Chains A and B, each alone.
Chain A
């Protein structure tokens, strides 16, 4: 008590002093503050605390408005001789500055416009870097892109160790580069290799790592409950610590330079040797080419900027950076990637409203790869989950899969062992229907067979409460056929997950005409909780994703039969931008699944889904070549060898089904377009038929679920940028040889006829 009271009086005193001392100044400040909405500042003990907060958004971005106010504020601070140092801090709990304003870049029409944007940014940060008083960036929450560039222009950086604090340069993922001095400052700060890694991968860096790398100088622990909410108090604490350091810097009690260790000295020495640097540029370049197949311009431009800056000096470096930034912003790749970013944001929202009831207990039927995966992404969000299987072996395997998935996270330190155990305690593995009467949603992931699914529907409906939703995880069976066995079809919905569930972001939700809106809202809410990007599509054989993939795989089988080897097929598809080659994809999906789907959809859609012979797949299944899971498919999956070997057994089967390749349509590029055009045509047909509600969800589904080349932005954006007419021309040529599998759908023809028609505005 004594000391508490004592402190209070002391605080009052200092507060009083501050107001009398700076009375005049704060008066002038407050009048200026009224006009400003994004940036404000106050002077505490000769330290200017600059606070940023975009009142119109959840995150701070470096919009034109924000930049203008920031320049104004900084000028005032620099003009005030009483200010000896400054602290830059965000008032938003989870965000320092999340980056530049993408819309600002997208609004530009020419390379020059974007280049000048970049140069303005460079100029501002140059002034920050050359500031006569030390500036401390106090970072809590995301510090990305332009935000990081701002922070590294400051003289000192302090970050909280909060889970929300991440630093990084994700521009490359939008087909851009750090265009406000980032490519010039980062190499000097963290060294060439780390700078390349950061900018080329765009990875998020956690506070501990950032400290080790030399990206931040000090770390501050996040606080728990006190006299204010933890978030609020943590920011306050960060500010207090930052102000102390700012005073220390101004008084030369704190030095910015860190003592270099021996390893660092050696590294610096080695990096000082031009031949070593040359070798690094070469290695990085060839690595980028290998991974991007030259389809992504941004990484190459990033290398160029860094190289120019290091070898030719700042002026040349900054110029290259701004020019390359301008060029990249105008590329179709960048547009595609930015489109995907916006699409992803849209698909992370529930457009069906708040469900009547929150799902608090979920039951998953079938502890296979899918079922266990679904259980894992549910329990790790804190939702109690029952995992039911019919056999003890199946259950044990599924349980182990979930445990392994979580345990791997503890090895990467993203989870503590106690958090892992706590999460696991939410999982109840069982063989019976115990507790199903408490379930709010059941997701079945049993074998893809209509009669089994019917049996499951009836069994489950006998034990679940009336409000419980029945979701079926099928990749091809129409939901209405499954719902036919249900007494309450309005509660039945399709939830199509992608394997491996904990890695694949997409969830395809399928509604029948009987599914109620609340059921949909509930399924979307569960999916969002599981961290999924969600598309909601109509019912039909193969829905959207499987239906697009099937014709492409049929075409792939035909190509194989025509003598294109699996390796060649893979290189053709990855060369087009698919992250996984077609042959490898078939192995991953499972040859048996592919055969199943091909047969089912073949029956439903007729010859349009023909191409390769389904018997090829069936024969492979017969021989046990079910893909990766059985150790053999198109390839042999050895225990250790890195190099994948083609499965000679599969080659023999292909030989027995050999077709002659028609020379007119068998050039490498033709094969690529045969595969892609069938995919794209089917996607557009889905939109035409109303299976797909809009092109955005179509693009997101194709890229996130099926690995459609991200640099093309999805089938719809691809048609927009490639030109529908050109695609139709190619398809007509293929149609002459192969028939109706290449007949363009009406909507595609419409777009081909009228070049002003576009799927994306």
Chain B
């Protein structure tokens, strides 16, 4: 761990003193001194069912327009579901319910959960529904499953999410659609001809989906740039963080830590078994890029933002008794979670700042209790802004109604296997990746508690506490 961090930092002009500090700190974590200082031994609550993550998988995350280009969303989702079945050896009829997330919907498969489940060979007696909540859609899918189990309605739920940006629905203009719909109803040839005659060139210009807030019409990158400026995050800090993400991801990929990835034989193409967006560059290369959203003086660039990605993920969630009865060795407990929301204009991407202290309070934990942090990296600037907000008493008091700051997570526990900036960010698939990664890191590093946090369009956010399953 320490050496890994060092390599990542070597590329940035850090003083040796600081690097040494880091090394020292990561050393102390590896000794597990913290484990004794935990404020709670377990988060099990009397009268509340223990819900466990049995396992989680994902397809490789690919830059959109690459190997997955000719698929449809449910194809990707099916690959993830099949991967989960293979990995867990789960009898197909043991699943009570399937919940799947997606953001940009393919209109032909609007309940993509059902289409994917049927194709993946699940029993046609297993109901499935689709949820959407921007970048936290699969978090919503998982917590929906948690709710079903906690309420005693189900024992085993498959949750997941898929995003397919290689093909997005591009629509005719509203005027053109109106004409075409009227055309269906026109009875006589004359009526049809007059409708056709009413079509103007302007009607033919299509409507493209944008990664923009509907309420404010501001693109997310633009908002991220403003957020970074509001918190005084420099371009250099953002580029450094982006480089860190790519460097750590590369390291994790090379050392085989990304074991949630399942190979996928793409019809008509080769077998895909690796994420293809991880590209560690040099600071000089990153510095060359022009700002992508606020021109010419902005700080958010293509390299310090997450890229458009195709991918799908899936997890198997069960009540602890059921999992044990079926002979599984669960990976982690899914504990408390929260959803938050705030101003979609000026605080669009501050979800983690708001959600983190709330979920910790709910669990009765402090920042020191957390061994593993997995935050969704939408933009390097957004992560840095959140870290600064979490470090600010003034922000906590003025905007969150809290007495003091919650504090920023220590970097040596933070997204150490890469993040959305480098691994990719298929909107609705990221949540499951975060949770599975926390479970894997807890196992690997021997920690007890992990925290997932993410921001989402609409000014929403989510956080969940995950407890390692006793080994």
Q: Given contacts A4-B391, A225-B399, is CB(A218)–CB(B297) below 8 Å? A: yes
A227 touches B236 (CB 8 A): no
**Residue in A227, A241, A416, A418 whose CB lies within 8 Å of B232:** A227
The reply on A226 being an interface residue by CB < 8 A is yes
- Within the assembled complex, what's the spacing in Å between the Cα atoms of A228 and B389? 11
Q: Which residues of A contact B296 (CB under 8 A)?
A: 218
- Within the assembled complex, what's the spacing in Å between the Cα atoms of A223 and B216? 14
Chain A: CB-nearest residue to B394: A227
- Within the assembled complex, what's the spacing in Å between the Cα atoms of A227 and B390? 10
Q: Which residues of B contact A4 (CB under 8 A)?
A: 237, 384, 387-388, 391, 408
Question: Chain A nearest CB: distance from B455 CB in Å?
Answer: 14
Q: Which residues of B contact A2 (CB under 8 A)?
A: 9, 14, 18, 22, 240, 244, 411
- Within the assembled complex, what's the spacing in Å between the Cα atoms of A225 and B222? 15
B231 touches A227 (CB 8 A): yes
B408 touches A224 (CB 8 A): no
B343 touches A224 (CB 8 A): yes
B347 touches A224 (CB 8 A): yes
Question: Chain A nearest CB: distance from B129 CB in Å?
Answer: 28
Q: Which residues of B contact A226 (CB under 8 A)?
A: 227, 229-232, 385, 388-389, 395
The reply on A6 being an interface residue by CB < 8 A is yes
B124-157 contacts to A (CB < 8 Å): none
Question: Chain A nearest CB: distance from B64 CB in Å?
Answer: 28
Q: Which residues of B contact A669 (CB under 8 A)?
A: none
The reply on B114 being an interface residue by CB < 8 A is no
Query: 0/1 per residue, B444-465, Cβ < 8 Å to A?
Result: 0000000000000000000000
Chain A: CB-nearest residue to B409: A1
- Within the assembled complex, what's the spacing in Å between the Cα atoms of A245 and B295? 13
The reply on B119 being an interface residue by CB < 8 A is no
Chain B: CB-nearest residue to A219: B294
The reply on A466 being an interface residue by CB < 8 A is no
The reply on B50 being an interface residue by CB < 8 A is no
The reply on B274 being an interface residue by CB < 8 A is no
Chain A: CB-nearest residue to B218: A221
- Within the assembled complex, what's the spacing in Å between the Cα atoms of A220 and B230? 12
- Within the assembled complex, what's the spacing in Å between the Cα atoms of A250 and B227? 29
Q: Which residues of B contact A3 (CB under 8 A)?
A: 12, 236-237, 240-241, 244, 384
B378-423 contacts to A (CB < 8 Å): 384-385, 387-389, 391-392, 394-395, 398-399, 408-411, 414
- Within the assembled complex, what's the spacing in Å between the Cα atoms of A245 and B347? 28
The reply on B70 being an interface residue by CB < 8 A is no
The reply on B123 being an interface residue by CB < 8 A is no
Chain B: CB-nearest residue to A419: B215
Q: Which residues of B contact A233 (CB under 8 A)?
A: 229-230, 232
Q: Which residues of A contact B346 (CB under 8 A)?
A: 223-225, 230
- Within the assembled complex, what's the spacing in Å between the Cα atoms of A9 and B237? 13
Query: 0/1 per residue, B1-27, Cβ < 8 Å to A?
Result: 000000001001011001000100000
Q: Which residues of A contact B29 (CB under 8 A)?
A: none
A231-286 contacts to B (CB < 8 Å): 233, 237, 241, 244-245
Q: Given contacts A7-B236, A223-B230, is CB(A418)–CB(B18) below 8 Å? A: no
Q: Which residues of B contact A220 (CB under 8 A)?
A: 297
A230 touches B230 (CB 8 A): yes
The reply on B48 being an interface residue by CB < 8 A is no
Chain A: CB-nearest residue to B243: A3
B229 touches A223 (CB 8 A): yes
Q: Which residues of A contact B398 (CB under 8 A)?
A: 225, 229
- Within the assembled complex, what's the spacing in Å between the Cα atoms of A550 and B458? 56
Q: Which residues of B contact A411 (CB under 8 A)?
A: none
Q: Given contacts A1-B387, A224-B230, is CB(A6)–CB(B294) below 8 Å? A: no
Chain A contact patch, size range: 20 to 34
Q: Which residues of B contact A229 (CB under 8 A)?
A: 398
B408 touches A6 (CB 8 A): no
Q: Which residues of A contact B345 (CB under 8 A)?
A: 224
A191-245 contacts to B (CB < 8 Å): 218, 220-221, 223-230, 233, 237, 241, 244-245
The reply on A5 being an interface residue by CB < 8 A is yes
Q: Which residues of A contact B409 (CB under 8 A)?
A: 1
The reply on B234 being an interface residue by CB < 8 A is yes
- Within the assembled complex, what's the spacing in Å between the Cα atoms of A5 and B18? 9
- Within the assembled complex, what's the spacing in Å between the Cα atoms of A230 and B227? 11
B395 touches A1 (CB 8 A): no
B226 touches A1 (CB 8 A): no
- Within the assembled complex, what's the spacing in Å between the Cα atoms of A237 and B244? 27
Q: Which residues of B contact A1 (CB under 8 A)?
A: 387, 408-411, 414
- Within the assembled complex, what's the spacing in Å between the Cα atoms of A4 and B347? 20
B297 touches A224 (CB 8 A): no
**Residue in A5, A227, A245 whose CB lies within 8 Å of B392:** A227
- Within the assembled complex, what's the spacing in Å between the Cα atoms of A418 and B347? 17
Chain B: CB-nearest residue to A241: B297
Q: Given contacts A1-B408, A6-B240, A7-B236, is CB(A225)–CB(B384) below 8 Å? A: no
- Within the assembled complex, what's the spacing in Å between the Cα atoms of A245 and B264? 50
B299-352 contacts to A (CB < 8 Å): 343, 345-347
Query: 0/1 per residue, B186-202, Cβ < 8 Å to A?
Result: 00000000000000000
Chain A: CB-nearest residue to B225: A221
**Residue in B18, B230, B408 whose CB lies within 8 Å of A225:** B230
Question: Chain A nearest CB: distance from B386 CB in Å?
Answer: 11
Q: Which residues of B contact A224 (CB under 8 A)?
A: 226-227, 230, 343, 345-347
Question: Chain B nearest CB: distance from A645 CB in Å?
Answer: 35
- Within the assembled complex, what's the spacing in Å between the Cα atoms of A661 and B265? 101
Q: Which residues of A contact B33 (CB under 8 A)?
A: none
Question: Chain A nearest CB: distance from B68 CB in Å?
Answer: 33
- Within the assembled complex, what's the spacing in Å between the Cα atoms of A418 and B212? 14
Question: Chain A nearest CB: distance from B37 CB in Å?
Answer: 20
The reply on B217 being an interface residue by CB < 8 A is yes
Chain A: CB-nearest residue to B410: A1
- Within the assembled complex, what's the spacing in Å between the Cα atoms of A233 and B388? 15
Q: Which residues of B contact A230 (CB under 8 A)?
A: 230, 346
Question: Chain B nearest CB: distance from A245 CB in Å?
Answer: 8
Question: Chain B nearest CB: distance from A563 CB in Å?
Answer: 53
- Within the assembled complex, what's the spacing in Å between the Cα atoms of A318 and B214? 50
Q: Which residues of A contact B408 (CB under 8 A)?
A: 1, 4
B347 touches A225 (CB 8 A): yes
- Within the assembled complex, what's the spacing in Å between the Cα atoms of A120 and B439? 74
A6 touches B18 (CB 8 A): yes
A7 touches B237 (CB 8 A): yes
B230 touches A418 (CB 8 A): no
- Within the assembled complex, what's the spacing in Å between the Cα atoms of A221 and B216? 14
Query: 0/1 per residue, B285-296, Cβ < 8 Å to A?
Result: 000000000101
Q: Which residues of B contact A225 (CB under 8 A)?
A: 230, 346-347, 395, 398-399
A2-20 contacts to B (CB < 8 Å): 2-7, 9
Query: 0/1 per residue, A602-625, Cβ < 8 Å to B?
Result: 000000000000000000000000
- Within the assembled complex, what's the spacing in Å between the Cα atoms of A446 and B220? 49
- Within the assembled complex, what's the spacing in Å between the Cα atoms of A202 and B408? 51
- Within the assembled complex, what's the spacing in Å between the Cα atoms of A223 and B395? 14
Q: Which residues of A contact B384 (CB under 8 A)?
A: 3-4
Q: Which residues of B contact A244 (CB under 8 A)?
A: 297
Query: 0/1 per residue, A386-417, Cβ < 8 Å to B?
Result: 00000000000000000000000000000010
Chain B: CB-nearest residue to A223: B230
Chain A residues close to B by CB (< 8 Å)? 1-7, 9, 218, 220-221, 223-230, 233, 237, 241, 244-245, 416, 418
27 A-B pairs with CB atoms under 8 Å apart are A1-B387, A1-B408, A2-B9, A2-B244, A3-B12, A3-B240, A3-B244, A4-B237, A4-B408, A5-B18, A6-B240, A7-B237, A9-B15, A220-B297, A224-B230, A224-B347, A225-B346, A226-B385, A228-B394, A233-B229, A233-B232, A237-B229, A237-B230, A241-B297, A245-B297, A416-B216, A418-B216
**Top 3 nearest A-B pairs by Cβ distance?**
A224-B346, A226-B230, A223-B230
Q: Known A-B contacts: A3-B237, A221-B229, A226-B385. Give 13 more (CB < 8 A).
A: A1-B408, A4-B388, A6-B237, A6-B240, A9-B15, A224-B230, A224-B343, A225-B399, A226-B388, A227-B388, A230-B230, A237-B229, A416-B216
